[in-house]
Amino acid sequence: MVISSSNIFSKKNLDVVNINTANKTNVKRFTQNGQIQIYQSSFRGSYSSIIRDSLRNAALGRKVLLIQFMKGGVKQGLDNTVKLCGNLTWVRSSHSFDQYNSEEIENNKNLRKTIHESTLELWNFCKKELRSGKNDQIILDEIFLAIELKIIDKDDLISTLENRFISGDVILTGTDIPKDLLLMANQITELRS
Protein backbone atom coordinates (compact mmCIF):
# COMPACT_ATOMS: atom_id res chain seq x y z
CA MET A 1 0.00 0.00 0.00
CA VAL A 2 1.44 3.36 -1.05
CA ILE A 3 -0.02 6.65 0.11
CA SER A 4 1.00 9.62 -1.98
CA SER A 5 -0.20 12.97 -3.21
CA SER A 6 -1.76 13.44 -6.62
CA ASN A 7 1.63 14.17 -8.16
CA ILE A 8 3.16 11.55 -10.41
CA PHE A 9 5.31 9.10 -8.44
CA SER A 10 8.83 8.67 -9.71
CA LYS A 11 10.17 5.12 -9.72
CA LYS A 12 13.52 6.58 -8.72
CA ASN A 13 11.99 7.70 -5.41
CA LEU A 14 12.93 5.02 -2.93
CA ASP A 15 11.41 6.84 0.03
CA VAL A 16 8.39 4.52 0.04
CA VAL A 17 8.69 1.36 2.04
CA ASN A 18 6.02 -1.32 2.21
CA ILE A 19 6.72 -3.96 4.82
CA ASN A 20 4.36 -6.91 5.29
CA THR A 21 4.81 -8.94 8.44
CA ALA A 22 2.27 -11.70 9.09
CA ASN A 23 -1.09 -9.92 9.25
CA LYS A 24 0.38 -6.46 9.86
CA THR A 25 1.23 -3.86 7.20
CA ASN A 26 3.55 -0.97 8.02
CA VAL A 27 3.47 1.92 5.60
CA LYS A 28 5.88 4.82 5.45
CA ARG A 29 4.14 7.89 4.08
CA PHE A 30 6.12 10.21 1.86
CA THR A 31 5.32 13.77 0.95
CA GLN A 32 5.85 14.92 -2.58
CA ASN A 33 6.72 18.48 -3.34
CA GLY A 34 4.59 20.83 -5.35
CA GLN A 35 5.73 22.51 -8.51
CA ILE A 36 8.42 25.09 -9.03
CA GLN A 37 6.96 27.93 -11.06
CA ILE A 38 9.05 30.71 -12.55
CA TYR A 39 7.60 34.02 -13.66
CA GLN A 40 9.99 35.98 -15.85
CA SER A 41 9.65 39.53 -17.08
CA SER A 42 11.95 41.96 -18.84
CA PHE A 43 11.16 44.66 -16.27
CA ARG A 44 10.68 44.87 -12.50
CA GLY A 45 7.31 45.43 -10.89
CA SER A 46 5.28 43.26 -13.25
CA TYR A 47 4.14 40.61 -10.78
CA SER A 48 0.90 42.11 -9.48
CA SER A 49 -1.00 39.04 -10.74
CA ILE A 50 1.09 36.80 -8.46
CA ILE A 51 0.34 38.98 -5.46
CA ARG A 52 -3.35 38.96 -6.41
CA ASP A 53 -3.30 35.15 -6.63
CA SER A 54 -1.55 34.87 -3.26
CA LEU A 55 -4.32 36.93 -1.65
CA ARG A 56 -6.97 34.75 -3.30
CA ASN A 57 -5.23 31.55 -2.13
CA ALA A 58 -4.99 32.88 1.42
CA ALA A 59 -8.68 33.82 1.39
CA LEU A 60 -9.47 30.26 0.26
CA GLY A 61 -7.65 28.86 3.30
CA ARG A 62 -4.18 28.09 1.93
CA LYS A 63 -1.22 29.13 4.03
CA VAL A 64 0.86 31.49 1.85
CA LEU A 65 4.26 33.07 2.45
CA LEU A 66 5.16 36.03 0.21
CA ILE A 67 8.76 37.21 0.44
CA GLN A 68 9.85 40.36 -1.39
CA PHE A 69 13.63 40.38 -1.39
CA MET A 70 14.34 43.66 -3.13
CA LYS A 71 11.49 45.76 -1.79
CA GLY A 72 11.43 47.27 1.64
CA GLY A 73 9.83 50.04 3.52
CA VAL A 74 9.19 51.65 6.84
CA LYS A 75 9.04 49.11 9.67
CA GLN A 76 9.57 46.09 7.44
CA GLY A 77 11.70 42.98 7.96
CA LEU A 78 11.15 39.76 9.85
CA ASP A 79 10.13 41.56 13.04
CA ASN A 80 7.32 43.41 11.26
CA THR A 81 5.65 40.90 8.96
CA VAL A 82 2.22 41.73 7.60
CA LYS A 83 -0.62 39.21 7.98
CA LEU A 84 -3.52 39.32 5.55
CA CYS A 85 -6.65 37.14 5.26
CA GLY A 86 -5.44 35.16 8.27
CA ASN A 87 -3.28 32.96 6.02
CA LEU A 88 -0.95 35.25 4.08
CA THR A 89 2.34 36.27 5.65
CA TRP A 90 3.96 39.09 3.69
CA VAL A 91 7.60 39.89 4.45
CA ARG A 92 9.84 42.55 2.96
CA SER A 93 13.48 43.25 3.60
CA SER A 94 14.19 45.66 6.44
CA HIS A 95 16.72 47.47 4.21
CA SER A 96 16.38 47.11 0.47
CA PHE A 97 17.67 48.49 -2.79
CA ASP A 98 14.32 50.16 -3.48
CA GLN A 99 14.70 52.43 -0.45
CA TYR A 100 17.84 54.16 -1.75
CA ASN A 101 19.22 55.36 -5.06
CA SER A 102 21.97 53.27 -6.62
CA GLU A 103 24.61 56.00 -6.28
CA GLU A 104 23.97 56.28 -2.56
CA ILE A 105 24.43 52.50 -2.18
CA GLU A 106 27.61 52.42 -4.26
CA ASN A 107 29.20 55.26 -2.28
CA ASN A 108 28.29 53.97 1.19
CA LYS A 109 29.93 50.67 2.22
CA ASN A 110 27.97 50.51 5.49
CA LEU A 111 24.65 50.97 3.70
CA ARG A 112 25.57 48.32 1.12
CA LYS A 113 26.55 45.94 3.93
CA THR A 114 23.29 46.59 5.78
CA ILE A 115 21.26 45.87 2.65
CA HIS A 116 23.16 42.65 1.98
CA GLU A 117 22.78 41.49 5.61
CA SER A 118 19.07 42.26 5.58
CA THR A 119 18.57 40.30 2.35
CA LEU A 120 20.60 37.36 3.68
CA GLU A 121 18.56 37.37 6.89
CA LEU A 122 15.42 37.09 4.77
CA TRP A 123 16.96 34.29 2.67
CA ASN A 124 17.91 32.29 5.79
CA PHE A 125 14.32 32.65 7.00
CA CYS A 126 13.08 31.42 3.60
CA LYS A 127 15.32 28.37 3.73
CA LYS A 128 13.81 27.36 7.07
CA GLU A 129 10.30 27.91 5.76
CA LEU A 130 10.96 25.89 2.59
CA ARG A 131 12.07 22.97 4.74
CA SER A 132 9.39 23.33 7.43
CA GLY A 133 6.33 22.15 5.49
CA LYS A 134 4.18 24.81 7.22
CA ASN A 135 3.17 26.67 4.05
CA ASP A 136 1.02 25.65 1.09
CA GLN A 137 2.61 28.21 -1.22
CA ILE A 138 5.83 30.21 -1.02
CA ILE A 139 6.55 33.14 -3.33
CA LEU A 140 10.13 34.38 -3.63
CA ASP A 141 9.70 37.71 -5.38
CA GLU A 142 12.75 39.07 -7.21
CA ILE A 143 15.05 36.38 -5.88
CA PHE A 144 16.88 36.34 -9.21
CA LEU A 145 17.90 39.97 -8.73
CA ALA A 146 19.39 39.02 -5.36
CA ILE A 147 21.34 36.29 -7.16
CA GLU A 148 22.45 38.70 -9.90
CA LEU A 149 23.69 41.14 -7.24
CA LYS A 150 25.60 38.24 -5.62
CA ILE A 151 23.73 38.51 -2.32
CA ILE A 152 22.21 35.03 -2.57
CA ASP A 153 24.22 32.17 -4.02
CA LYS A 154 22.58 30.41 -6.98
CA ASP A 155 23.79 26.98 -5.84
CA ASP A 156 22.37 27.59 -2.36
CA LEU A 157 18.97 28.34 -3.92
CA ILE A 158 19.14 25.20 -6.08
CA SER A 159 20.10 23.03 -3.11
CA THR A 160 17.34 24.51 -0.97
CA LEU A 161 14.74 23.92 -3.69
CA GLU A 162 15.90 20.34 -4.15
CA ASN A 163 15.56 19.70 -0.40
CA ARG A 164 12.34 21.63 0.21
CA PHE A 165 9.39 20.16 2.07
CA ILE A 166 6.26 21.84 0.76
CA SER A 167 3.25 20.16 -0.78
CA GLY A 168 2.28 23.33 -2.61
CA ASP A 169 4.04 25.43 -5.17
CA VAL A 170 7.15 27.55 -4.91
CA ILE A 171 6.97 30.60 -7.15
CA LEU A 172 10.12 32.47 -8.14
CA THR A 173 10.11 35.79 -9.98
CA GLY A 174 12.73 37.89 -11.67
CA THR A 175 14.27 39.20 -14.83
CA ASP A 176 17.55 37.36 -15.51
CA ILE A 177 17.02 33.71 -14.62
CA PRO A 178 19.98 31.33 -14.49
CA LYS A 179 19.68 28.38 -16.87
CA ASP A 180 20.11 25.87 -14.01
CA LEU A 181 16.95 27.18 -12.40
CA LEU A 182 15.00 27.24 -15.65
CA LEU A 183 15.77 23.54 -16.01
CA MET A 184 14.35 22.84 -12.52
CA ALA A 185 11.05 24.56 -13.20
CA ASN A 186 7.80 22.72 -13.82
CA GLN A 187 6.28 25.85 -15.29
CA ILE A 188 7.84 28.98 -16.81
CA THR A 189 5.69 32.00 -17.55
CA GLU A 190 7.05 34.99 -19.44
CA LEU A 191 5.21 38.21 -18.72
CA ARG A 192 5.29 40.80 -21.47
CA SER A 193 4.36 44.46 -21.45
Provide the pLDDT for residue 166.
Answer: 74
Q: Which residues of the chain carry a pLDDT beneath 70?
A: 1-33, 44-46, 72-75, 97-100, 193
Provide the pLDDT for residue 136.
Answer: 93
Residue ranges covered by each domain of the chain: 1-32, 33-191
Provide the pLDDT for residue 104.
Answer: 78
Tell me the one-letter amino acid at 126. Answer: C
Q: Is domain 33-191 classified as CATH 3.40.50.300?
A: yes
